[in-house]
Amino acid sequence: MTSERVVIGAGRLSVADVCTIAALGASVTLDVNLETPLAATPFTLQLVSAPSPISDSPAVRRAVLVLLLHRLLRIGSIQNAQYVATLLNDRDKTPDQIASVNLPMSILPVEQSNITNIPLELLAEASLVVGGARALLPLADAVAAITCETLRVDLAAFDADFVDLIRPHRGIVTSAQNLRLMLDGSKYVNSSKEDVTAATAVRCIPQYHGPARDAVLGAYKVVETEMNSALGYCTATKRANAGIHPQALKTVLSATKEALHVLLQGSVDRSSVMGRKIPDAFLTENAIDLIHATLDALSRELVPSLSFFEEEEAQIKVREAEKSAKVQEAAAKAAAAAALEDEKLAAMPEAQRIKILEKRRKKLEKQQEKMNAKKSGRDELKLGLGSQAVRQYLMGLDNWQTGVKGSAFDLRTSSLAQFLDDLFMRLGSGGARRKPKIAKGSQDFLPHQMALREKIFNKIRMVFKRHAGVEIETPVFELKETLTGKYGEDSKLIYDLADQGGELLALRYDLTVPFARFMAMHNPGNIKRYHIARVYRRDNPQMARGRFREFYQCDFDIAGTYASMLPDAEVLSIGIEVLQQFPELGPVKVKLSHRLLLDAILSICGVPSNKFFTTCSAIDKLDKEPWSVVRREMVEEKDIPEDVADRIEPFVCKVGSPRELHAQLSQNKMFGDNVNASRAMNDLALLFDHLEAMSVLEFVSLDLSLARGLDYYTGLIYEFVLTSPEHHVGSIAAGGRYDNLVGMFSATDQHIPCVGISLGIERIFGILQAHAEKQSAKSTAPSQVLVASTSSDLMMPRLELCKQLWLANISAEVMQTENPKFIKQLHYALERGTPFMEVKL
């Protein structure tokens, strides 16, 4: 029984607190203002209608009392809480059963409901089980790593290139990383002559521990949520006519028991690989006993490893003693030889004696260097960094086996579990991760790169403002339901957030859907909006082609009721104007089509309506793949009949000048009497007139293979591509009309037509940066003026002058050293490219 005291109040109760009091026997201190005792009105509170066998466990009974204490504090029943705290602090007063508790003060029926509506016995058991399982997670990884060291396993199965890419489950990745951290620097791993790594129990340790870790941590959160949930009897409960159902606790308890079975079986199997058998008696079904059985198995698994380390250390000491004896023997012989040499030297002339002594000194220096080298490379027990730390910790205990077995349910800061968690964190931040890395698909920007990006953003903003655009901002994350179902097959690329507040959140995938949600919420009327911000996609990054997981988008959208096709034409004109601001990009072509036209083609060719989107995703690849490849995908993967695919080909392979191709399609009546096609053709004819008036029609190409994959497009769709052979980056901007998207977020199905364009700034930046490096263009100096001095003690006058320049909106700086020499200040200005110097004499 521990002498530690745990403070319990009406605030949040943790699983660690319950385990410390119930399983480790800690005392309780109440965090309340003590009240003057009222006259006692004894009252019996019925807690459990039919106690289960698990209530025979003293730890469970104490856990029930802790949960009851917390509930009493939350409803403000202080005297009853003091009484329950006395039961917990005096082990002799702990009741033998928990079906009911005799309280000194009666409580209202509503307050009784707040306590009895909660399955206290089940919650107590779940609290202990998930707390005990949580304490086992780091220990299981640590013991498994030490076993791997003893078996000299090949670490390829735990390598990040395999686990992080092939099995990127959070628990598996964490477990594999813990194994690598524990074994970093070991001379034993990767040295086995026998293929012990082939054993499933060894090779698949992350696959054992990872899912168990995920299950236990998930259960831990659920149990803490249940412990601190709203009081059971409230207005919402009455209105819903529902109490607190125990299924959530039953589910997590079952999942945690399964996780414990996995950890236990993994330890038993690894022990078998080392030639030790764990008795089957430890394979129990009782969850509390299962925790003790798993700890016992892990403790037994450690025995051969620690014995092996002791034997290795003993052999090393023997070898070191033998080496030391040989060194002493050699030293004695050398001393005898030196004595004979000294006798001869005494009879020699002084000049010859000095010469011989100099040679002897140099020889001794070389011998000393060899000795030092041997000492630095001496034989020692070279365990992994983590294994060595764990071994030292265990050897520092009076009885390490008792210490390991006694760590059950211990989540305190001084516990073995906390030591191991801290060890993994310390090794991860200063060991295997010493070399700083950046997350895949993201990038840093140096000052000269940021200067170039600022110029790019400014030019884009100027174009947007010329067209009466106004800027808005939306959160970087949205409710998951806001983004779900808007991106077709790309919805799987949305980043989910592990939110602590109970909301399902996701990082924004683009700026269009958040804008539609913005319009539905604020209804600003007709608006020309632009937005420049980061978006996030869980994609496979291709850095060379400008595809990242975190990147900027520059969006311009026109929302509201306007003349037909006029907003579409203006958005296309804006896209061309923006790209013309950067001559380094070369010529630009706008590939243009209409979503209704594409739907009409698929309908005419006989594609089922439920396969329109999947077929469109295949057609959209025609700019990268020949028709034969696209046809094979449609037939073999999308289940489109061959004759239907053959009917699609004459339509989607048509690309050409907008006016000419439009006239050809109209004359040949390729779409027959299809209503959607007729409407799309009329829209395109009007659009071409507007574009010609804006002098941008020459940049447009009508391409019926264009099939933007996002679900929300309803009309015109387009992509901007660079036609210069130097640039192979795919589309550099894209967009379309989405008239129904705002209505998805409106309770009244509000219809607000929208059309917009999104520019891929990272691809533009990549091309301009490469061009600047090719031209050896120097970046602009960060300051215009360097305030310098020719003599010492002029720091204050320099700062005063600098302040005057700042107030005049002039970029200026001083060299940030005390009394710098004038020549150093001059070199500083020249190196930074500062155009002017103001010199104080």
pLDDT at 71 over 70: yes
* Residue for token pair 């607000």: 752
Pick the most confident of 239-243, 397-401, 703-707, 733-737.
733-737
- Amino acid (1-letter code) at residue 71: R
Q: Distance (Å, rounded) from C-alpha 3 to C-alpha 25?
A: 8
Which candidate, 24, 138, 36, places its Cα nearest to that of 78?
A: 36
Mean pLDDT calculated for residue range 599-611: 84
Which candidate, 541, 23, 474, 561, places its Cα nearest to that of 292?
A: 23
Q: What letters, b where the CB count within 10 A reaches 16 and e where it falls short, cover 375-387?
A: eeeeeebebbbbb
Which region among 173-187, 276-290, 296-310, 471-485 has the lowest average model confidence (pLDDT)? Answer: 276-290
Q: Residue 22 in contact with residue 66, Cβ under 8 Å?
A: yes
The two counts, helices (H) then strands (E), for the chain are 29, 19
Percent of the chain whose pLDDT exceeds 90: 27
For residue 778, the model assigns a pLDDT of: 63
Q: Determine how β-strand 655-656 pairs with β-strand 527-536.
A: unpaired
For residue 142, the model assigns a pLDDT of: 93
For residue 770, the model assigns a pLDDT of: 86
CATH 3.90.180.10 matches 589-723: no
Residue 156 or 569, more confident? 569
Task: Give this prediction's pTM.
Answer: 0.64
> What is the four-CA torsion angle of 40, 41, 42, 46, rounded to 10 degrees?
-130
Topology classification of domain 438-586+750-778 = BirA Bifunctional Protein; domain 2 (3.30.930)
Residue 383, phi then psi, degrees to nearest 5: -85, 170
Residue 310 CB partners (closer than 8 Å, separation 6+) = none
pLDDT at 578 over 90: yes
DSSP-derived secondary structure for 35-90 = PPPPPP--EEEE--SS--GGGGSHHHHHHHHHHHHHHHHHTT-HHHHHHHHHHHH-
pLDDT at 185 over 80: yes
Mean pLDDT calculated for residue range 339-349: 72
pLDDT at 811 over 90: yes
Mean pLDDT calculated for residue range 368-390: 72
546-558 residue pLDDT tens:
678 899 999 999 9
Burial-class residue 539 by CB neighbours within 10 Å (0-12, 13-18, 19+): middle
Q: Distance (Å, rounded) from C-alpha 47 to C-alpha 65?
A: 10
Query: What residues are paired with 7 via a beta bridge?
Result: 29
For residue 432, the model assigns a pLDDT of: 47
Q: Distance (Å, rounded) from C-alpha 675 to C-alpha 659?
A: 21
Which region among 221-225, 647-651, 785-789 has the lowest average model confidence (pLDDT)? Answer: 647-651
pLDDT at 258 over 80: yes
For residue 287, the model assigns a pLDDT of: 86
Angle value at C-alpha 485, between 484 and 486, nearest 5 degrees: 95
Topology classification of domain 118-437 = Fumarase C; Chain A, domain 2 (1.20.200)
Mean pLDDT calculated for residue range 356-369: 75
Q: Distance (Å, rounded) from C-alpha 152 to C-alpha 180?
A: 13
> What is the four-CA torsion angle of 158, 160, 163, 168, rounded to 10 degrees?
150
Mean pLDDT calculated for residue range 611-638: 82
Could you tell me the pLDDT band of residue 758, with boundaries at 50, 70 and 90?
very high
Pick the most confident of 214-218, 230-234, 436-440, 624-628.
214-218
Residue 369 or 382, more confident? 382
Mean pLDDT calculated for residue range 785-805: 89
pLDDT at 648 over 70: yes
Angstrom CA distances, 230 to 11, 32, 74, 107, 130, stand at: 12, 20, 10, 18, 21
Q: Do 589-723 and 438-586+750-778 have the same topology in CATH?
A: yes
For residue 231, the model assigns a pLDDT of: 65
Q: Where are the domains of the chain?
A: 5-116, 118-437, 438-586+750-778, 589-723, 785-840
Q: Residue 582 in contact with residue 460, Cβ under 8 Å?
A: no
Pick the most confident of 47-61, 237-251, 637-651.
637-651
Q: What's the number of CA atoms in the CB half-sphere (13 Å) around residue 581?
A: 17
Structure tokens at 595: 């979503």
For residue 530, the model assigns a pLDDT of: 95
pLDDT at 482 over 70: yes
pLDDT at 192 over 90: no
pLDDT at 236 over 60: no
Residue 591, phi then psi, degrees to nearest 5: -85, 125
For residue 809, the model assigns a pLDDT of: 92
In 369-509, DSSP assigns E strands to 470-471, 477-479, 496-497, 505-507
Q: Distance (Å, rounded) from C-alpha 660 to C-alpha 135?
A: 73
pLDDT at 818 over 70: yes
pLDDT at 636 over 80: yes
Which candidate, 149, 255, 256, 258, places its Cα nearest to that of 202?
A: 149
Q: Distance (Å, rounded) from C-alpha 99 to C-alpha 255?
A: 27
The CATH class given to the 785-840 domain equals alpha beta
Q: Distance (Å, rounded) from C-alpha 435 to C-alpha 430?
A: 9
